[in-house]
Amino acid sequence: MLLAIDSGNTNTLFAIHDGKEWVVEWRIATEATRTADEYAVWFYQLLNMQGLGFKDITDCVISTVVPQSLFNMRNLVRRHLNLEPMIIGENGIDIGIGVRIDNPKEVGADRLVNCVGARCAYEGPLIIVDSGTATTFDVLSADNHFEGGIIAPGINLSVRALHEAAAKLPRIAIKKPDHIVGKSTVEAMQSGVFWGYIGLIDGLIEMIRAEDSRDFTVIGTGGVASLFEGSSKMIDHYDHNLTINGLHQIWKINRNA
């Protein structure tokens, strides 16, 4: 079985693929100081609940945008699973797509992995919108090259900023409001945050299309992407397994290298 680990700024996803499909996924808060042994205790218990053990894991691939956490995740895999993990971004790893920007080393591993996952399922030039700690818009050409993108603050960051910077504004849950104009402070904040992000997403996609005449297919993914389903007019498909499918594809490309 393949263990795929995707470590983002907010959460880290552990997913297991049995050769045919993803059989289970777990999330844990990303903490750079969490040790390999702490990961191992948590992971062992969850595997046990599925009737699995460390010996059932035969391969591992890791993508992370938090370099400080990589040391402990690598030690988890080496010491407790007795495996050498494949690390996205390390020398010799073929990701299956090219990068056409000024400094390819600047691109986060998560953005490239998303592009690989998108290419596995969709054709033509693509825009991938990932709604997480940041909201990213990435352009993938029809000939499989990452061509750049846009990075904006994520919706949770905006909610936190409102609460922390304005003394009288409460912390709110993110939800689609019933009306554009709120009748209370909470409703007004929810409307501003939710519809503001719909405006951000649809507006930026519209601007990309105005600047570039290619017929893009737009894919939505990320931890809070489900919030926008049915509300964004510009996102064509929602794919919540985009990142782990990209990790699986990169593993397949490199497993016999």
pLDDT, residue 230, reads 86
pLDDT, residue 216, reads 96
Of 83-87, 164-168, 214-218, the least confident:
164-168
| Residue with the larger pLDDT of the pair 15 and 89 | 15
Q: Using an 8 Å Cβ cutoff, are 122 and 219 in contact?
A: yes
pLDDT, residue 257, reads 58
The helix/strand/coil state of 80 is helix
Give tens-digit pLDDT for 17-53: 999 999 999 999 999 899 999 999 999 999 999 999 9
Give me the phi and psi of 226, to 5 degrees please: -60, -25
DSSP code for 19: S
Q: Which of 232, 238, 161 is nearest to 201 (CA)?
A: 232
pLDDT, residue 165, reads 80
Share of the chain above pLDDT 90, in %: 70
Give me the phi and psi of 52, to 5 degrees please: -120, 165
Distance CA(191)–CA(177), nearest Å, equals 6
What's the mean per-residue pLDDT of the chain? 92
Q: Using an 8 Å Cβ cutoff, are 158 and 166 in contact?
A: no
Give me the phi and psi of 88, to 5 degrees please: -65, 130
Q: Using an 8 Å Cβ cutoff, are 5 and 73 in contact?
A: yes
Residue whose pair of structure tokens reads 């064509």 in the numeric block: 236
What is the average pLDDT across 130-158?
92
Q: Using an 8 Å Cβ cutoff, are 248 and 17 in contact?
A: yes
DSSP code for 78: I
Give tens-digit pLDDT for 181-229: 988 888 998 899 899 999 999 999 999 999 998 999 999 998 888 888 8
What is the average pLDDT across 142-161?
91
What is the average pLDDT across 61-90?
93
Question: Taking the model in full, what pTM does it have?
Answer: 0.89
Active-site residue list: 110
Q: Could you tell me how far CA 107 lies from the centroid of its own chain?
A: 14
Strand pairing report for 59-64 and 11-17: unpaired
Distance CA(196)–CA(122), nearest Å, equals 28
Distance CA(226)–CA(26), nearest Å, equals 18
Distance CA(98)–CA(178), nearest Å, equals 44
What domains appear along the chain, each with residue ranges and CATH number?
Answer: 2-87 (3.30.420.40), 105-245 (3.30.420.40)
Report the amino acid identity of residue 89. G
Give tens-digit pLDDT for 120-135: 999 989 999 999 889 9
C-beta neighbour count of 150 within 10 angstroms: 17
pLDDT over 90 (residue 61): yes
Strand pairing report for 2-7 and 11-17: antiparallel
pLDDT range class, residue 166, cuts 50, 70, 90? confident
What is the average pLDDT across 49-72?
93
Q: Using an 8 Å Cβ cutoff, are 167 and 119 in contact?
A: no
Q: Using an 8 Å Cβ cutoff, are 246 and 116 in contact?
A: yes
